[in-house]
Structure 1
Amino acid sequence: MTAPTTATDVNQPSLEHAPRTGRRMSWPVLLLVIAGALALTSIVRLITGANGITNVSQMSTALQLAVPIGLAGLGGLWAERAGVVNIGLEGMMILGTWFGAWAGFQWGPWTGVLVGIAGGCLGGLLHAVVTITFNVNHIVSGVAINILALGATRYLAPLAFEGHQGGSAKQSPPVDSLGHFSIPGLSGWLDSLNDQHWFFVSDIAGLLGGLVTDVSWLTLIAVALIPATWWILWRTPFGLRLRSCGENPIAAESLGVNVYKYKYLAVIISGGLAGLGGVFLSIVANPFYLEGQTSGRGYIGLAAMIFGNWMPGGLAIGAGLFGYTDSLNLRGGSANVHALLLLGALLLVAGAIWLVIRKKYVKAAITFVVGALVFAWYAGTNEVPNQVVSATPYVVTLVVLALSAQRLRMPKADGMQYRKGQGK
């Protein structure tokens, strides 16, 4: 970051960055890429007959699975934009699941939402004290919080839930629903259009139908937090100061920014967002707390944030991708994953052609060979083993991160230890 030279510059809603490793994709180009991928998916659906890969129920399930991942990723984005690495997102989600269900079955689901957020904030506060005040390594602190949260909830669950109807040492009593809604008329029309199985049009109808059919109110809040985060962090003086702490805290301090305050706020908000993701799991996805409920979604949320290049829009796309692959486990998994092998092969061939155009012949050859192997796998089999279906979300996470790594730029001071006055 190029530090501004006057205190008034800090109040302006812009922030200079060091040169990026690659050009940032504009929204028109990004939308064109998404449309191209959807068209290719439609071609694969027509060839394979796997209509389930873009139907309304598949997309609705994908959205539900993407929300906790996206909320965890948003939590990571807030912390890391202020310069604090938050590996403890998984533990903060665990606290959110437990506190949300504990308060929810006693005082109602909306009380559970608030208490679950508070539980995540408690984990964020602990992480902030350890890393900001005592300068403990951020990774070590995050891992410790994950272990501590798991141990604490295992200890508290028998005390809080045993003796209540439906409760046990590993499960809470049922929590009342927050309620769901579908947009009248539009939801049914999109569902009917999706059932026609037309090229591209039905696939768009399936995608949009999943966004307006049987949607939880908490899902609506979570989706609204994506543009809200962008506006706060990139269009307000508060957001500029917070991001300056993640780019160059010494320069920010020299201009009067209270770096400790902004780091603390960012990490506590980070914990609250992760806690909200945990609440979604224990109140919306399932109407009860269950030990091991997060299943590594905090880590996948962190991967979605990295894939999104520490930006809310990219994070949303990453969470949607990981949520979609996770949904394959629940709806026609083997047939759908087998069909997606063909999609993967076509994408790899397209990637090889793009690399040839850019005169990267060795990489193009490797990509083409991998694409041919994936196509051979598709052509030589009628289904894939269930183990492959279960592993698909994690494999996709690794592949996407590996392919996008060269275009990433993290905040310059992310993970760096900072002491007040160290620039003097």
Structure 2
Amino acid sequence: MSTSLMNPSEAPTTVPPPRKARRIPGWATAMIGVAGAVVLLSTTSYLTGVPQLTSTGTIQTAVRLALPILLAGLGGLWAERAGVVNIGLEGMMIMGTWGAAWAGYQWGPWAALLAAAVFGALGGLLHAIATVTFGVNHIVSGVAINLLGAGLTKYLSTLIFFPLSNNPRESPSVPKFDTYSAAGFSDWLGELEAQQRVGLSDVAGILRGLVTGVSPLTMLAVALVIGSYLVLWKSRFGLRLRSCGENPVAAESLGVNVYLYKYIGVIGSGALAGMGGAALVLNPGQPGYLEGQTNGRGFIGLAAMIFGNWRPGGLLGGAALFGYADGLQLRSGGKTFLALIYGAVLLLAVIVIWQLVRRRWFAAAGGVVAAVVLYAVYYSVDEVPSELTTYAPHLVTLIVLAVASQRLRMPAADGVVYRRG
């Protein structure tokens, strides 16, 4: 047996593992994004001389128009986290608009909201029966729900509303929710906004739009976003429901009733989409139900959910973006949208600089080309045609999805037909 002596200075040293970079929390990322958006809008407003970009009226309109998109997207989130693609959100919203107008005309806005949820949930129940029980393709069932919702409400409107309003495409006027404002704070912000100070007045206009004329439905929608996060990500029920959208076979092997959780997700999805329809009917700018008033907002809500990467916080940001685009075209028109194009050029300039720092030459070159094209449009026209501003939310939807598509991750079993055993 032999022993060997080793000089302590020659002893092998263990190399400590590299430290992992700290990941920025989601809430911090969201706050940075909000601050960046405010700075961008403020800078654009100052350079173009268009204060409507951050005015109180624009923000109030944007909030009202973001509500139906937010609620529809939240409905899509519940269904798709359970593994069921709900492209029938538009039809469920349509059913919700009719239910809200029918009940709201007779019993008031709270009854309108409840009836809209019930009508939307019925659409969700049909979708669940088709997809979960009978294994129908989710896209086919969703398209059928959209067609059914449009046809059913048209028939019911002719039957119920025509004797009351003498118009088969419109309901009588529906009572609205009372609104609330932070009176003293709102007045102070209004004075600050009127001074037109760079940056400060822009922030004041945005804040004043958020705290003035707030509807109970707005408060409820924000509570539903927070509640959805807590239920889906912080509870056993939410873990089980999300497991049905990720790996239903494994969930079933652990005792989860996959069919039941899918039913709950899809019916809840329909109820939320129906409430999104009620948000349209109860909007102060609308008398009540109007045929075609959803105008594709169910699909935009689905796009907002995808933009938010199937998470409530991201969905809130997507709904705010699309609602802002919609509200801007209603409040201000072509000249304001031209200023927004200038803001897009500034944003692209920042992106190009970031890509150059990261040495992504191809992406930087693409950003430069896009910025040059947009600036050429801004320089060559005096006002964006109304035909384009009308479809601004839809154009923004396409652009955002094209840009964000590379970082998205849908639930692994989303859209997969599940069969027990």
TM-score tier by shorter-chain length is over 0.9
Partner secondary structure for residue 162 of structure 1: helix
Partner secondary structure for residue 413 of structure 2: coil
Q: Per-residue displacement from partner, 1:332-358 (whole Å, max 9, x unpaired)? A: 111210111110111112112222222
CA contact 2:52–2:336 (8 Å) conserved in 1: yes
Amino acid paired to 1:132? V
Equivalent residue, structure 1, for 2:202: 203
Q: Per-residue displacement from partner, 1:208-266 (whole Å, max 9, x unpaired)? A: 21111112111111121111110110111110100000001011111110101110000
Q: Using a 3 Å threshold, how does the CA distance of structure 1 residues 389 and 354 change in structure 2: closer, same or farther? A: same
Equivalent residue, structure 2, for 1:404: 404
Q: Using a 3 Å threshold, how does the CA distance of structure 1 residues 167 and 200 change in structure 2: closer, same or farther? A: farther
Aligned-residue offset at 1:201: 2.0
Aligned-residue offset at 1:289: 0.5
Aligned-residue offset at 1:37: 2.5
The within-5 A match list for 1:307-318 is 307-318=307-318
Equivalent residue, structure 1, for 2:277: 278
* In structure 1, distance between residues paired with 2:247 and 2:185: 48
* In structure 1, distance between residues paired with 2:217 and 2:104: 14
CA contact 1:42–1:199 (8 Å) conserved in 2: yes
* In structure 1, distance between residues paired with 2:166 and 2:420: 48
Partner secondary structure for residue 330 of structure 2: coil
Amino acid paired to 1:264? Y
Q: Is residue 291 of structure 1 aligned with residue 291 of structure 2?
A: yes
CA contact 2:96–2:276 (8 Å) conserved in 1: yes
* In structure 2, distance between residues paired with 1:257 and 1:62: 41
Q: Using a 3 Å threshold, how does the CA distance of structure 1 residues 383 and 129 change in structure 2: closer, same or farther? A: same
Equivalent residue, structure 1, for 2:14: none
CA contact 1:175–1:283 (8 Å) conserved in 2: yes
* In structure 1, distance between residues paired with 2:153 and 2:398: 29
Amino acid paired to 2:222? V
Aligned-residue offset at 1:381: 2.5
Amino acid paired to 1:312? P
Q: Per-residue displacement from partner, 1:286-325 (whole Å, max 9, x unpaired)? A: 2310000100000000000000000000000000000000
The within-5 A match list for 1:206-285 is 206-285=205-284
Larger CA deviation: 23-32 vs 276-285: 23-32
Larger CA deviation: 176-185 vs 26-35: 26-35
Q: Is residue 100 of structure 1 aligned with residue 127 of structure 2?
A: no
Aligned-residue offset at 1:48: 0.9
Larger CA deviation: 35-44 vs 111-120: 35-44
* In structure 2, distance between residues paired with 1:106 and 1:210: 31
Equivalent residue, structure 2, for 1:342: 342
* In structure 2, distance between residues paired with 1:40 and 1:90: 33
Aligned-residue offset at 1:25: 6.7
Q: Using a 3 Å threshold, how does the CA distance of structure 1 residues 342 and 25 change in structure 2: closer, same or farther? A: farther
CA contact 1:66–1:323 (8 Å) conserved in 2: yes
* In structure 2, distance between residues paired with 1:230 and 1:281: 24
* In structure 2, distance between residues paired with 1:384 and 1:287: 29
* In structure 2, distance between residues paired with 1:105 and 1:340: 39
Equivalent residue, structure 2, for 1:185: 184
CA contact 1:216–1:284 (8 Å) conserved in 2: no
CA contact 1:177–1:287 (8 Å) conserved in 2: no
The within-5 A match list for 1:7-406 is 26-164=26-164, 166-285=165-284, 286-406=286-406
Amino acid paired to 1:345? V
Larger CA deviation: 52-61 vs 380-389: 380-389
Aligned-residue offset at 1:415: 0.3
* In structure 2, distance between residues paired with 1:126 and 1:273: 15
* In structure 1, distance between residues paired with 2:146 and 2:209: 33
Equivalent residue, structure 2, for 1:10: none
* In structure 2, distance between residues paired with 1:416 and 1:258: 17
Larger Rg: 2
Q: Per-residue displacement from partner, 1:81-108 (whole Å, max 9, x unpaired)? A: 0000000000000000001101111222
Q: Which runs of 5+ in 2 are unaligned?
A: 1-22
Aligned-residue offset at 1:36: 2.1
* In structure 1, distance between residues paired with 2:388 and 2:158: 35
CA contact 2:104–2:111 (8 Å) conserved in 1: yes
Aligned-residue offset at 1:389: 1.3
CA contact 2:329–2:337 (8 Å) conserved in 1: no
* In structure 1, distance between residues paired with 2:99 and 2:251: 36
Q: Using a 3 Å threshold, how does the CA distance of structure 1 residues 177 and 26 change in structure 2: closer, same or farther? A: closer
Q: Per-residue displacement from partner, 1:6-65 (whole Å, max 9, x unpaired)? A: xxxxxxxxxxxxxxxxx8873223322321231122111111110011011100000000
CA contact 1:80–1:414 (8 Å) conserved in 2: yes
Give the alignment's Cα RMSD to 1 decimal: 1.3
Q: Using a 3 Å threshold, how does the CA distance of structure 1 residues 178 and 167 change in structure 2: closer, same or farther? A: farther
Equivalent residue, structure 2, for 1:418: 418
* In structure 2, distance between residues paired with 1:29 and 1:365: 26
Q: Per-residue displacement from partner, 1:275-296 (whole Å, max 9, x unpaired)? A: 0000111123423100001000
Amino acid paired to 1:198? R
Amino acid paired to 1:219? T
Q: Give TM-score scaled by structure 1 length.
A: 0.91
CA contact 1:167–1:173 (8 Å) conserved in 2: no
